[in-house]
Amino acid sequence: MAIIILAIESSCDETSASVIKDGKVLNNVVATQSVHQEYGGVVPELASRAHQQSIVPVVDKAMKEAGVLSSELSAIAFTRGPGLLGALLVGTSFAKSMALALDIPLIDVNHMQAHILAHFIDDPKPKFPFICLTVSGGHTQLVLVKDYTNLEVIGQTKDDAVGEAFDKAAKMLGLTYPGGPLIDKYAKLGDPTKFEFPNTSMPGLDYSFSGIKTAILYFLRDELKKDPDFIKNNINDLAASIQFALIKMLMNKLKRAAREHNIKEIAIAGGVSANSGLRKALENMKEEKRWNVYVPDFQYCTDNAGMIAIAAHFKYLAKEFVGLEVGPMARMPIGVKS
Ligand code: KG4
Ligand code: ZN
């Protein structure tokens, strides 16, 4: 009998549902919340309400598009964490109710693990062990992936996530939330060497992005005193220089991790892996370091239920189910067993 799983993602500001059949993701329906734009960041309470409004139509669309009846489902999967508690609660409660009503197993998925396992949706797939640089709005991690469920964090940010640094820098430039994609857009037209921002590094394989954020803030403040139109006149070069500095920091530690662990299978995952500068930097490593690089399809970079579905498929095969007493976890370390 076919293994058919409905997966739900609701950890931040995307409500998403996906149906997977025998390990093949059939679809990936995503409703992005626009309500946060005017606030310059995700407002947790508004996110929860928007999830409540979207979850039924999004799940309905995924099921109809896949041509699957609820009676055919083998299991229901959901993002348990990490994420915004209220937002996670919507997906968790929905999944639990559906599993209870259909009397089928329930599968909890770690969002960060799912970002990494998104590499197993399509070909080419990385070979174990590989290193994944996971870069999102809430996380920046270097993960040694030994198996689908055996993952070890070998480095991570001690303060802001790199996506947050992109978004905060964009906000300083007067761009709307989420600013990462806009920095990427303007950076394509600018000179990355025009302005220099500090490499605020940590010892070992850890990251820190709060220092560079402050440096950008002070730099802009000083320049605006001299020329009130400084940002307007230099937006492309500013975006390119900021992006260049952030990517350099990401790549330095990634190269170090690859060297220390003697691994040439390198992947990136998470929202910031959609960044064209990072993709290019990684692409260059194919030649320079003879790395085999893996970059996910755009739709599987930012938050989506397709990645929850593939992670759930592996858990289904391992019979890793949870009971109805399960609750969401705002903080959920990677590799934690239920
Ligand atoms: O993984 P994700 O969708 O959500 C979280 O789990 O956080 O990542 C969202 C982050 C945001 O900070 C957004 O600005 C950033 O990914 N992002 C980008 C790009 N696309 C999304 N950052 C830089 N360049 C992009 N093209
Ligand atoms: Zn994410």
Could you give the domains of the chain?
A: 4-116+300-317 (3.30.420.40), 126-296 (3.30.420.40)
E runs forming strands in 180-299: 265-269, 292-294
Phi, psi of 81, deg, nearest 5 = 165, 175
User: Ligand 1 atom 7: the closest Cα is on which residue?
Assistant: 137
Phi, psi of 306, deg, nearest 5 = -60, -40
Indicate the SS3 state at residue 94.
helix
Report which of 77, 111, 134 is spatially closest to residue 250, judged by C-alpha positions. Answer: 134
Report which of 165, 167, 161 is spatially closest to residue 181, judged by C-alpha positions. Answer: 167
Strands 265-269 and 14-21: unpaired
Indicate the SS3 state at residue 281.
helix
Peptide bond between residue 44 and the one before it cis (omega within 30 degrees of 0): no
Residues 6+ apart with CB under 8 A from 64: none
Residue 337: the pLDDT is 58
> In sequence order, what are the beta bridge partners of 109?
79
**Ligand 1: which of 36, 115, 176, 302 to mutate, judged by most atoms within 8 Å of the beta carbon?**
302
Q: How far is the CA of 292 from the centre of ligand 2 (A)?
A: 24
The upper half-sphere exposure of residue 264, i.e. CA atoms within 13 Å in the direction of its Cβ, equals 8
What's the CA gap between 180 and 193, in Å, rounded? Answer: 19
| DSSP secondary structure, 150-197, as one string | -EEEEEEBSS--HHHHHHHHHHHTTPPSS-HHHHHHHHTTS-TTSS--
Q: Considering every ligand atom, which ligand is closest to the CA of 272?
A: 1
Q: For 255-273, how does the pLDDT look when each residue is reduced to its tens digit (9 = 90+)?
A: 999 999 999 999 999 999 9
Residue 336: the pLDDT is 57
User: Ligand 1 atom 24: the closest Cα is on which residue?
Assistant: 275
Residue 114: the pLDDT is 97
- Ligand 1, residues at Cβ distance < 6 Å: 12, 136-138, 163, 166-167, 178-181, 184, 270-272, 274-275, 302-303
Report which of 167, 8, 16 is spatially closest to residue 91, judged by C-alpha positions. Answer: 8
Q: Considering every ligand atom, which ligand is closest to the CA of 178?
A: 1
Residue 34: the pLDDT is 86
Q: How far is the CA of 234 from the centre of ligand 2 (A)?
A: 31
The upper half-sphere exposure of residue 38, i.e. CA atoms within 13 Å in the direction of its Cβ, equals 2
> In sequence order, what are the beta bridge partners of 267?
132, 294
Burial class (CB in 10 A: 0-12, 13-18, 19+), 297: middle
User: Ligand 1 atom 8: the closest Cα is on which residue?
Assistant: 271
Strands 24-25 and 292-294: unpaired
- Low-confidence stretches of the chain (pLDDT beneath 70): 335-338
Full-model pTM: 0.93
Residue 65: the pLDDT is 97
> In sequence order, what are the beta bridge partners of 18?
7
Q: How many residues does the chain have?
A: 338
Ligand 1 atom, smallest distance to 167 CA: 14
Indicate the SS3 state at residue 318.
coil
Q: How far is the CA of 257 from the centre of ligand 1 (A)?
A: 23
Residue 143: the pLDDT is 97
Residue 67: the pLDDT is 97
